[in-house]
Structure formats: structure tokens, C-alpha cells
A = this chain, B = another copy of it.
């Protein structure tokens, strides 16, 4: 492992949250983009990110550049994929290690928003710098695959939630309507959620039950080494 090519390394992050789509009023996925202030792709929208300093962990660099550009500090970032096509950057080869996180609406609302940082619906992005449209496409595919078998939907919800709220997350991620009765049966038989015995307050007749995730299921989501950042 000596004598390797000296290549440029960068980190980027894809941060998803759920918000209503103003066009349909249905929940949909949004992500923050940062306007580039230098060449190449000056003025174009890009994923938050930056260079990898020599002495910084990959996940720490991803968290720092995300914080510096958007003010967002997710509880943890997960490594998504490394993109390294030789032609992906016009100024010479750049290998980008991409991290991602899902954040609750309340956390997303803490982000900086100005003329150079804005949130976009994931399915209606402008042409992004570099191969960042492709990176978002990959992240959406992973999210849609993962929501089927893991507790990933939890990241968008509070500690407790109704089955309707959980179904809303699944519908937004999968971009299709789900039958309420089928969804209830599938979730209840999966053992991934637990009835808290409580109900939504302030609803007079048949208030919906509140559920929480079953911590004993799929607790390995973070990998064998724990969260990438504390």
C-alpha cells in the first residue's frame, strides 16, 4: 500500500427530511442543497460537503462540512457509498465518500436557509453539480429498499407515533398509496412496533393508539462499530 496514486478526496452528505409537497399537500422527501461559490460548476446547486483534511476521520469531515454549510447536526451519519468515476469532476479525478442521514422535521427546521442554502423536493431537483443527481438517485434507491425491512422510518418520527403517521412515512418514501388495513396487518405481524397503551390526547372519539419502535428488533442498524459519529 505504498506508491498509490495521489487522488483528491472529498466528502458529501445527503440529508432527507419529510415535509408536505405544496403541490399535493402529501408528505414527500426533501433535501438541503448548497449553491457553489467557486469553479467548477460555480453557481450550481450541490450536496453539502467539502475537502477531506489529512488528519480528520471521514465521518467527522462529513459532519463538520454539513454543519458549516447548513447548520445541521444529525445524531449520526451513516456511510452511503463512495463515488469515484474518473470523469465525474472536470478539474481532475475526485473520489467522494458520501454519508447520509434522515432527520425529523423539527431538526430540519433548525437548518440555515438563505440564498445559498435551500431545501428541494427530492423528486424535482434542478441539474446539480458533478454527478450529484446520480448520488441522490442512489440514496433514494437505498432508502426505498431499506424502509421495507428496517426501522429506518423511525428517524422521521418522534418517540411515539400512530400507525397513520408511520404509514405516511412509508407512502412518502415509496411514493405510492398503501392500503391502511394491509399496512396495519403487516406492521403488527412484523413485531417491529409496540403498542404503548396510550392514545393521542385531545381526540374525543376513538383517539388513535400510540406506538413506539421495538428496541430489541433490528438494533444492529448502526453496524458493528456503533454510530459513525457520536
Which A residues are within 8 Å of any B CB, using their own CB?
Answer: 1-10, 38-40, 49, 51-58, 79, 81-82, 84-86, 89, 91, 93-97, 129-130, 137-138, 141, 145, 149, 220, 223-225
Q: Are A5 and B58 in contact (CB under 8 A)?
A: no
Q: How many copies does the complex hold?
A: 2
With contact pairs A5-B51, A40-B2 given, residues A145 and B220 touching in the complex (Cβ less than 8 Å): yes
Q: Which residue of B lies closest to A223 (CB)?
A: B141
Distance between A97 CB and nearest chain B CB, rounded to angstroms: 5
A145 to B81, alpha carbons, bound, how many Å?
A: 18
A93 to B51, alpha carbons, bound, how many Å?
A: 15
Instruction: Classify the secondary structure of A's interface with B.
Output: loop
A129 to B2, alpha carbons, bound, how many Å?
A: 13
Q: Are A137 and B224 in contact (CB under 8 A)?
A: yes
A38 to B47, alpha carbons, bound, how many Å?
A: 40
Q: Are B6 and A8 in contact (CB under 8 A)?
A: yes
A82 to B98, alpha carbons, bound, how many Å?
A: 10
Distance between A23 CB and nearest chain B CB, rounded to angstroms: 25
Partner of A149, one of B40, B130, B149: B149
